[in-house]
Structures are given as C-alpha cells and as structure tokens.
Copies of this chain bind each other. A is one copy, B any other.
Amino acid sequence: MPEPGTQSGCSSMDVAGADESLHAWFLGPRAENADILERLVLESLRDHVFWRRNFHPEDGFTIHEADRRSRGYDAANARLTQELFGLLAALKRDVPFFSGRYQGHMVGEQTIAAQVGYFAAMLYNPNNVAAEVSPVTTGLELEAADQLAAMIGYDTARSWSHLCAGGTIANLEALWIARGVRYLPVALALAARDLGIALPVRTPAGGTEDMRELSLWSLLNLDGTDTLDAYQLLHESATHRDVEVALDAHSLATIGYQDYTRQLAAAFGDALPAGVILVASTAHYSWEKIARALGIGARRMVAVPVDAHCRMDPDALWGVLSRCAAEQRPVLAVVSVCGTTEEGAVDRLDLVTQVRERAAVELGVAFHLHSDACYGGYAASVTRGADGARLSAAAIRSKHALDWPSPAWVASIEALSQADSVTIDPHKLGYVPYPAGALLVRDRRARALVSLDPPYLAPSDGADRVGEAFIGRWILEGSKPGAAAAAVWLSHRVVPLDERGYGHLITRTVEGAYRLYSALREEALAPFGVVRLAPPDLNIVNWMMTHPALRTLAEVNAFNDAIHARLSPGAADPPYFITRTRLDSPAHDGVIEPLLKQLDVDASEWRNEGLVVLRAVVMDPFLGDASATPDHVAGFVAALRSAAADVLSVAGTSSTSALRVRC
C-alpha cells in the first residue's frame, strides 16, 4: 500500500492548532484560499502533463503543431471554449452550498484536499474495480476505508471495508451481505447433510449441536460469527469445490427466492413466515427501495418507533422482537441509524446492542445489526484523540464551552464497533465531492457470500494479493472512480479522523447548530412563537413557527410550508436556505406527541396531518463563531422572522383560508 507523504507525519499537527488549521481546510465562503487551490490544481495538472511527456519519449508526438493549426482543430476548440463558457454561465444558477447562508440539505463545502485529490487522480482516470487498472488508487481506497473502520472501533485485521457510489448502494450491499449470513446456516445444514459431514455449531443457549439436527427456526437464529465459523469449518472438512457445489444447491443466491421458499417447505416441513427487517422509523426512505429491489418486500420492513429525541426506542425494539419470536418470524436485520436524515438523531446503539444480547438469551432470536451511519459516522472522530485513543465525554467537553456530547452519546458512538456492518458517506460529513460512500463489515469472512469471479481473473480463494486487490469481486459495483478514493484518502491525510481534524470540524458544526438552536426563541421572533424539537444530537436543527392567529394544525403546517418556500431555492433570491420535512404518524408519534401541547392549537387531526417541520443542516464550521462577520445565526433568525411576517401579511392574519391559498 502506498504511503506518500508519510515523512511529514502527524506531529506537525496538534489539537490547539486545529482552529487555525480549519481556516486552511476549505476554499472558503469568499474563496479566501483561492490562491492555494489554484496553485495545487495547476501543480497537479502540470505534474500529469509531464508524466505523459516522460513516458517513452522516443515515441515522439502524435498530435503535431501543424495539426493544431488546421481549420477543424480551431473549430473544435472554439466549440469547446464556447460550450464551456455556456456551462460556467449556467452553473451560476447553482446553489451556494459554500455560504453560511446555506443550511439546507446535507451538502456543504468540500475540503481543498478532496478537491485537488479528486482532480489530480481523475487526470489518470484509474478504475478501482481492480488494481490492474488502478494500481495506486485501489490501495488508497482500502486504506481510507480501513481508516473509517478503525475510527469506529473495528479490528481492521478482521473487518472488510471499501468505498462505493454512495449510501444507498452501501446500505444495499450491507443488507445483501446480511441476508447471505442469516440464510447461510440453512445452506450449511443441508450441504452438511448432502456431504455426510457433522457440522457442530455453538447455539445461543450455549451448547454445541450438529447443524444437521437443528430446526429451521434455530438455524435462522444462530449467531453470525458462529455461522461464519461453521462455514469455515465445513470448508476445512471437504474440498473447496465440493463444499461450494453443495452450498450452491441450497443457497438463496444461487437458486433464487422462488425455489428457495419451496425448498424450505420441502426440507423443514414449514418455511416459516417471511423474514423481516426491523428499521428505525426515522430511517432513510432508500431502505424501502432496497427492500423492494432485493426481493425482501417493502411490507417485510417493520418500523421500530422512536422516542422524543427521534432515536429508536429500545423498549419498542424489544416489543417487536418479542412478537417476531412468538410468530417464529425470522429477523434478517435490525437497522439502527447514526445521524438520521431529517433530524441528525443518533440512536442509542449501546442500548440496542443490549437488546440484542437479551433477545439472544431470552427469545432465542439473533439478527444482523446494521448501523446506517451514512450521515453521522464521521462524528466518531470526535471521540478519538490524536493518538487514536477513545476520549470520554468529559474529556471532549473539557475542550469547548458546549453542553455536548453526553456520556450516553459517546456510548452510542462506541457501540458502532459492535454493529455487524456500518455505512458511512464520506460525501456527507467527510466533506468530499460526490460520489463517496463506504461499507464497513465487521467480519470480513462474510464478503465471500457475495463474491463472484470474472473469467479474466485466475481462480483463487481471494486470500492472495491479486484477489485482495480486485475489489470488484467482493462488491456490487464494477467500474468506479479511483479519483473518489484519492479524494477521501487525501482528505483523511490532511484532516485526520480525530479531535485535531474531523473531530474538531464536526464539533464546530455542532457548536453552530447549538447557537442556532438557542437563537430560535420567542424574544427574537415575536410576534411569532417557536416550538423546537429536542436539542440536536449532531448538527441538524428542527423547529416549527407558530402565531396566535393560527387555530389548527393544518394552518400551522401551511404557515411553515409557506415560510420554507421563502427560504429555499424555489424563491426569488432567498436570503437564506433551509429545508423542511414532514413528521408522519405513526412513525414519529414519539416525537410528535410531546410537541402538540406546546403548539396550543386544535391538533385533533394530527394523525392525518403530521407535522411540517423546518430543518437546518449546519455543515458550516464557521456558524458557531459569534465573532464571525457576518453572524449568520443572527442574520438567519432575522430572515426567518421576516419570512414569517411576509407570509402572514400576505395572507392577512384573520383569513387563514387565504393563507392556505397563498402557500
């Protein structure tokens, strides 16, 4: 694996200097660091140019200066320049993610390191499907992904991590692997029967039994690690080929769901109810997309209710698991969230893992535990010291004036190491350009369940150097940009995954979110009222605006919709950019119900109406600084008040029907 720049070490960085470093990490809202970006982009470009010049110089020139003086050449260049200028002009209508005025979606600045790293590598256009076409960037990908794995506490000697196109693909892969592991015992038991081999496995009760003798329900509730141990054991008991042939005859991946379902019924008498996925009700909508695509089915996703903090309710999870156990309904996976899309909520994964342990003992139920940390994953860097050691909540809080994080928050983050898989998007809080997602799998043996070799790779068991460097055999995607890997890698080198780097950066955004949260108060917004959701777990702030003239929940919702319309890209020249979401019942009942009292309107229709909630994603690290010019927190609150006043004056405070029409 290449280690460019290792000489410079990390010693030149310290925690105290992080705030100064922060000024160098980004191009800046006013492109203050344009000189640096320009210098490095030019350096990268020229470096590449001279690489080409130096490659077999005896080859001479293919395009001659005379060729560059033809009419067609000129016309092509004129066209390129003209069209590019057209594109540049059109891009002026893009959204100013770089500005403190943008607190909309989960997109902000990119680090200069990521921008330059992407550009530099893109000139080479490596394809990270295999090291043969990306000898440098495949190494960078594995290294950068392993850094994320180490950050969340995985043992990188045992885990498997890679980058991919984004969170949806990463989550799909996680569930694909989860399904492979959960159904593996069935294939193992039937293969062991076919091969006439005894296959002992540890059972949740603590004993050891021959898998061939277990019931379908027991097989579907074995521990994942024990299952992979048995997989390894079977491979040691016969030839690789014999084992694979026997497994293929009984594997969902090979024979497909339709025959599999019939085979379960034939082999075990009863195929049991269809397997389900338990998903925090705040989970991203793409989980349903994934359940549909994989053939699991949208209705086989069971939403686990959340509490007032928008975190998965561990008691509710226990309740759902108990019902599944009573119905002998297999649970393929539980999906917890670290940084929900709408609220940035961080599930109490520590409590979820306790539920998992209790379910194994008391209910005999086991499942794949996945954390969708696509948004929040990078926040684990907050809990890492410069030496990589884990920091306590007290230690973190000692370094800033913020009432965050709580020991419970740190425990939730520490519990990521207990999840069977975790997805993290570098293109969100990693501040790198799209596309960059990551999938981290705790037990690397699981990847064999989704692997496939193309004809142009020599057969191997994957343990050799060539197999390892051929990432495409273990993942869903084929061709993918090595440039994305270079961007993530370089950004991690410059902004380390600890309190000096990303930890500091993200803490600053949380400071900004808390400043905003505090500023959203009646005094600043009068005559309007404000109802805030729980204080942020990360850097997303949610609230509703109210006014005494509004009598029903429908009117409050319409009011907030109209405010949002004035503070989003649809408006003409909006002073600030936020987003809005809708909290639906029953998924968000735990969040909604405490808020209804504060709203003080006729909320009888809340189960149909839901709540329209304004949402600010604070990815700008400078928002937390009260001395910054301008103070975008104060500016935003003034703009919010003004937008609210505009809505009501347009509508007339006495005419709520007019309000609804104008919204």
Encode A110-133 as 1/0 by CB contact (under 8 A) with B: 101101111111111111000011
- 12 CB < 8 A contacts A-B: A4-B83, A12-B79, A30-B59, A30-B62, A40-B84, A47-B88, A59-B101, A62-B100, A105-B127, A125-B434, A127-B434, A259-B274
Evaluate contact between A31 and B8: CB separation under 8 angstroms: no
Given contacts A105-B127, A117-B84, A122-B119, is CB(A72)–CB(B425) below 8 Å?
no
Nearest B residue to A128 by beta-carbon distance? B434
A318 contacts the other chain (Cβ, under 8 Å)? no
- Please measure, in the bound complex, the distance between the C-alpha atom of A307 and the C-alpha atom of B49, giving whole angstroms: 44
Evaluate contact between A479 and B435: CB separation under 8 angstroms: yes
Evaluate contact between B71 and A17: CB separation under 8 angstroms: yes
Chain B residue contacts of A646, Cβ below 8 A: none
Q: Which A residues from 29 to 79 make CB contacts under 8 A with B?
A: 29-34, 36-38, 40-53, 55-56, 58-64, 67-68, 70-73, 75-79
- Please measure, in the bound complex, the distance between the C-alpha atom of A295 and the C-alpha atom of B69, giving whole angstroms: 57
A87 contacts the other chain (Cβ, under 8 Å)? yes
Encode A578-605 as 1/0 by CB contact (under 8 A) with B: 0111101000000000000000000000
A89 contacts the other chain (Cβ, under 8 Å)? yes
- Please measure, in the bound complex, the distance between the C-alpha atom of A303 and the C-alpha atom of B46, giving whole angstroms: 49
Q: Which A residues from 6 to 34 make CB contacts under 8 A with B?
A: 6-8, 12-13, 16-21, 23-25, 27-34
Nearest B residue to A635 by beta-carbon distance? B59
The answer, among B20, B58, B490, for a CB contact under 8 Å with A70, is B20
CB distance from A174 to the nearest CB of B (A): 12
Evaluate contact between B62 and A628: CB separation under 8 angstroms: yes
- Please measure, in the bound complex, the distance between the C-alpha atom of A289 and the C-alpha atom of B83, giving whole angstroms: 40
Evaluate contact between A119 and B120: CB separation under 8 angstroms: no
Evaluate contact between B113 and A84: CB separation under 8 angstroms: yes
Copies in the complex: 2
Evaluate contact between A38 and B42: CB separation under 8 angstroms: yes
A450 contacts the other chain (Cβ, under 8 Å)? yes
Evaluate contact between A294 and B297: CB separation under 8 angstroms: no
CB distance from A190 to the nearest CB of B (A): 15
Q: Which A residues from 92 to 117 make CB contacts under 8 A with B?
A: 92-101, 104-105, 107, 110, 112-113, 115-117
Nearest B residue to A139 by beta-carbon distance? B90
CB distance from A328 to the nearest CB of B (A): 14
Chain B residue contacts of A481, Cβ below 8 A: 433-435
CB distance from A2 to the nearest CB of B (A): 4
A196 contacts the other chain (Cβ, under 8 Å)? no
Nearest B residue to A8 by beta-carbon distance? B82
Evaluate contact between A52 and B27: CB separation under 8 angstroms: yes
CB distance from A122 to the nearest CB of B (A): 5
Nearest B residue to A486 by beta-carbon distance? B87
CB distance from A532 to the nearest CB of B (A): 19
Evaluate contact between B36 and A77: CB separation under 8 angstroms: yes
Nearest B residue to A2 by beta-carbon distance? B90
Evaluate contact between A295 and B257: CB separation under 8 angstroms: yes
Chain B residue contacts of A78, Cβ below 8 A: 8, 12
A206 contacts the other chain (Cβ, under 8 Å)? no
Evaluate contact between B87 and A28: CB separation under 8 angstroms: no
Evaluate contact between A99 and B261: CB separation under 8 angstroms: no
Evaluate contact between B59 and A100: CB separation under 8 angstroms: yes
Evaluate contact between B166 and A478: CB separation under 8 angstroms: yes
Nearest B residue to A610 by beta-carbon distance? B455
Encode A250-275 as 1/0 by CB contact (under 8 A) with B: 00111111111110000000010011
Chain B residue contacts of A486, Cβ below 8 A: 87, 91
Given contacts A17-B71, A433-B125, A582-B455, is CB(A113)–CB(B83) below 8 Å?
yes
CB distance from A470 to the nearest CB of B (A): 12
CB distance from A127 to the nearest CB of B (A): 6
A167 contacts the other chain (Cβ, under 8 Å)? yes
The 9 closest A-B pairs by CB, nearest first: A256-B297, A4-B86, A20-B72, A295-B295, A5-B86, A17-B72, A257-B257, A258-B274, A24-B76
- Please measure, in the bound complex, the distance between the C-alpha atom of A490 and the C-alpha atom of B76, giving whole angstroms: 13
Evaluate contact between B479 and A85: CB separation under 8 angstroms: no
A521 contacts the other chain (Cβ, under 8 Å)? no
Evaluate contact between A136 and B93: CB separation under 8 angstroms: yes
- Please measure, in the bound complex, the distance between the C-alpha atom of A568 and the C-alpha atom of B456, giving whole angstroms: 13
- Please measure, in the bound complex, the distance between the C-alpha atom of A551 and the C-alpha atom of B194, giving whole angstroms: 41
Evaluate contact between B61 and A30: CB separation under 8 angstroms: yes
Evaluate contact between A90 and B4: CB separation under 8 angstroms: yes
Evaluate contact between B115 and A6: CB separation under 8 angstroms: no
Evaluate contact between A285 and B44: CB separation under 8 angstroms: no
A531 contacts the other chain (Cβ, under 8 Å)? no
- Please measure, in the bound complex, the distance between the C-alpha atom of A580 and the C-alpha atom of B123, giving whole angstroms: 26
A299 contacts the other chain (Cβ, under 8 Å)? yes
A454 contacts the other chain (Cβ, under 8 Å)? yes
- Please measure, in the bound complex, the distance between the C-alpha atom of A93 and the C-alpha atom of B136, giving whole angstroms: 7
The answer, among B8, B72, B297, for a CB contact under 8 Å with A257, is B297
Evaluate contact between A20 and B71: CB separation under 8 angstroms: yes
Evaluate contact between B59 and A433: CB separation under 8 angstroms: no
A193 contacts the other chain (Cβ, under 8 Å)? no
Evaluate contact between A75 and B253: CB separation under 8 angstroms: no
Nearest B residue to A34 by beta-carbon distance? B49
A493 contacts the other chain (Cβ, under 8 Å)? yes
Given contacts A5-B83, A115-B122, A299-B255, is CB(A456)–CB(B76) below 8 Å?
no
A414 contacts the other chain (Cβ, under 8 Å)? no
Chain B residue contacts of A476, Cβ below 8 A: 168-169, 172, 289, 293
Evaluate contact between B285 and A254: CB separation under 8 angstroms: no
Encode A284-311 as 1/0 by CB contact (under 8 A) with B: 1110110111111111100000000000
- Please measure, in the bound complex, the distance between the C-alpha atom of A498 and the C-alpha atom of B262, giving whole angstroms: 52
Chain B residue contacts of A354, Cβ below 8 A: none
Chain B residue contacts of A12, Cβ below 8 A: 75, 78-79
Evaluate contact between B568 and A132: CB separation under 8 angstroms: yes
CB distance from A178 to the nearest CB of B (A): 12
